[in-house]
Amino acid sequence: MREKRKLISLDTDSALALMQEIYNDIVEQKNTASLITKKMLSFMKEAEDMSIIGPTIKDQQKILVDCLAKKQALVKLQIDLIKQGGSSGDGQKSQGKLQLTEEDRMILGKLIDEKDEKNLGDDDDNEDKYKM
């Protein structure tokens, strides 16, 4: 088995690809939570049914709120990268390494770790943290 890479070097293209992958996962989680909520609500026939399906709906609503928070964090990172990226005098995009603030590193690290936890389930390898 190959050793996990723990040091991530980001340029503009790799950062955009990573953020797109994270965004796609967020959208998938949101769509699944919305679908489950709608399905549960369609099962509700009487008021007593709410006591049965209520906890599931509450969990799905929490997932939807978490997805919104993740999207906001992702947008903050994108804004910071846009401010940095800019363009050179001849209209070409800058191809240098990105300089992330400590706060940006924490946000991106958290998004990456959450994505890995979702993909890996309860594996013990989740203790690996990435450095950027």
Cα distances from 46 to residues 34, 43, 61, in angstroms, run 21, 9, 21
Nearest residue to 66 (alpha-carbon basis) of 97, 110, 124, 6: 110
Residue 4 counted as domain residue? no
**Residue 37: CB atoms within 10 Å:** 19
Distance CA 121, CA 118 (A): 6
Residue 7 counted as domain residue? no
Q: Residue written as tokens 């947008």?
A: 75
In this model, does residue 35 exceed pLDDT 50?
Answer: yes
Its domain, for residue 79, covers 12-85+97-118
Amino acid, single-letter form, for residue 34 = S
Angle at 124 between CA 115 and CA 77, to 5 degrees: 25
Number of domains in the chain: 1
Instruction: Say what the pLDDT of residue 123 is.
Output: 46
In this model, does residue 59 exceed pLDDT 90?
Answer: yes
Residue 114 counted as domain residue? yes
Distance CA 22, CA 108 (A): 10
In this model, does residue 106 exceed pLDDT 90?
Answer: no
Residue 32 counted as domain residue? yes
Residue 64 counted as domain residue? yes
Determine which of 26-35, 49-58, 62-71 has the lowest per-residue pLDDT on average.
49-58
Instruction: Say what the pLDDT of residue 110 is.
Output: 80
Residue 6 counted as domain residue? no
Residue 26 counted as domain residue? yes
Looking at per-residue confidence, does 79 or 21 come out higher?
A: 21
Q: What is the mean pLDDT of residues 12-22?
A: 82
Q: pLDDT band for position 44 (50/70/90)?
A: confident
Distance CA 129, CA 132 (A): 10
Paired with 87 in beta bridges are 93
Residue 2 counted as domain residue? no
Q: pLDDT band for position 97 (50/70/90)?
A: low
